Structure 1
Amino acid sequence: MRNTIEAIRPVDKTVGNDVQAYLHTLTKPIGSLGMLESLAVQLGEITSNKFPEVSPPGIIVFAADHGIADEGVSAYPKEVTAQMVHNFLQGGAAINVLAKQIGAMFQIVDIGVSTFIESENLVNRKIRNGTGNFLYEDAMSRKEAIDAIEVGIDVATKLIQDGAKCIIPGEMGIGNTTSSSAILAILSQEDISMIVGSGTGITEEQRKYKEKVIQNSITSREPNREDVMDVLAKVGGLEIAGMTGAILGAASKKTPILIDGFISTIAALVAVKLCEHVKDYLIIGHQSEERGHQIALEMLECKPILNLQLRLGEGTGAALAFPLLKASVNILQEMATFSSAGVTEREKQ
């Protein structure tokens, strides 16, 4: 983990300036393609390439169970995590459909599912059989949190070596909005009521109960907000740590990272706490319906591309936003300049 963090460099602003200058030569009014232009500039900065590539994207879904799910904080029982992993492996989940649509390389990583799952298509990197119930004990040891991050680093860097040009971290784990909300509450010091949302679709009564579980857990665990690894170990999730590692690994390889919703944004926030340069490698795919997502985005100083009222996870919102990244690089690579098209440029004032 330390070596990966030390390998992450600031993005290349010089190339970004070159991309911006080139965009001004294309047959359109300056700035008229809005966010597509800023995406093109950012992708140039990330990759140090004036004509960056983002295809194929690589989607990595990390799956793990949470001990806190035993407290009834989700609308679904804990066994749904393993059942959904089987669904991913059979190609039946929303992320499978969207991954196919965008031509993504696709991996499912068991980093902490409570039960054993055997499949040649599953990447088995299990750290432990789910986290501890952090209402009563630390979710995991500091070493386990580091090990999970290193799994994410390893999986992402191998996928990049195999040809992925953009990494989309995704997750599956019943109870992970509770874990993510706890992390955000600690790091942001915002009131719990401003952070905790409906997750998988719990009632308002259940949501208020979830707030109490998180508040009591934070009081019991006493995490050090100045030490993000302490926070991650005490109230985090193995799949959150895995996504954190994937983000760090991609940044170390100058590869764009397209972030999904609330839970992957919390993983990104942890990664930025570990290395501030990571922030400029992040592209936020969408605005989640989960209440705390806006707070996390403000902490990262990032703006989402889409707002489709999503709250599914798995990487789905990021996969839906990916075609806009592809459009931004296609504009750079294929659009004519005023000179090449023989079109008169705007008059200089």
Structure 2
Amino acid sequence: MGKKIFSGVQPTGNLHLGNYLGAIKNFVKLNNEDQNECVFCVVDLHAITVAQNPKKLKDNIYETIATFIACGIDPKKSIIFNQSSVSAHSETAWILSCVARMGWLNRMTQFKEKAGKDKEKASIGLYSYPVLMAADILLYDTTHVPVGDDQKQHLELCRDIAQKFNNDFNADNFFKIPEPLIQKEFSRIMSLRDGTKKMSKSELSDLSRINLTDDKEQIINKIKKAKTDTLQLPSASADLEKRPEAKNLMGIYSSLMDVSLEDTINKFSGKNFSEFKENLSQVMVDKIYPISLEIKKLLREKKYLDKILLEGTQKADKIASEKVKKIQELVGF
């Protein structure tokens, strides 16, 4: 039996190698498995939990859709849409926020990290957005959600909310209880300048990340300048634990090549970083540069992207509006 999969990506612009290997590459794989039903959402409602420039936000929505398609997600096989165009997401989030409990949200570690020291100045949306995330997932009778380590806690909350709603309204199995889908053989992608920090678009130096819109020269230059240590490449994975930069680069190579870290270690054991970096640059140019060219081409075809969004919105709205009607009936509206 196939899986019903939901995943969302924030339109923050400048999607990078970490986003690709950590999420989008896996979306493509799930999209290509015939029995799966996939819904991929650009979560623009989540994006406004922090201040956004409206024009930039609109551009970023297009860029995220273009990136999905350029990476290989087929809009004929999967639903691709932006969250704000389907009103059921906001409606359901309100109803579920009356089911969720303050104590549950107070335990969310991501709010503490994102709000920083001055929590009083954070928006209510930043605090409550895990409830909106639960609405996103539950509206589509989702059975599986691809999650990274930082989202596991939110999926647990989603499961708690679904269970409580089902119990409160005597509606056994009305909301499906979604399972996490965790990638096997995946290394978390870290900064090219510091192997102990996650690759991020917010890091000041552009040399810290490979953007999915980088050209050939930029890719080669960034790999050449990526931080390494002075030792030769190791012969066992245990030797990488105290060598974060080596572990990161070898993990990136393994993920791009779809091989295990052990295979990469065996191939390059005892070699110098210069030789390894040449190989890594070549693989990255082969895999990432075509995506970059395709994103740029699609961004010149806004009418085509609008068509994809419209078709995706119509499909998503049909499913979500039917579900929200049933939710309203159960609640007593």
Pair in the same fold by TM > 0.5: no
Structure holding more helix per residue: 2
Structure holding more strand per residue: 1
**TM-score, normalised with respect to structure 2:** 0.25
**TM-score, normalised with respect to structure 1:** 0.24
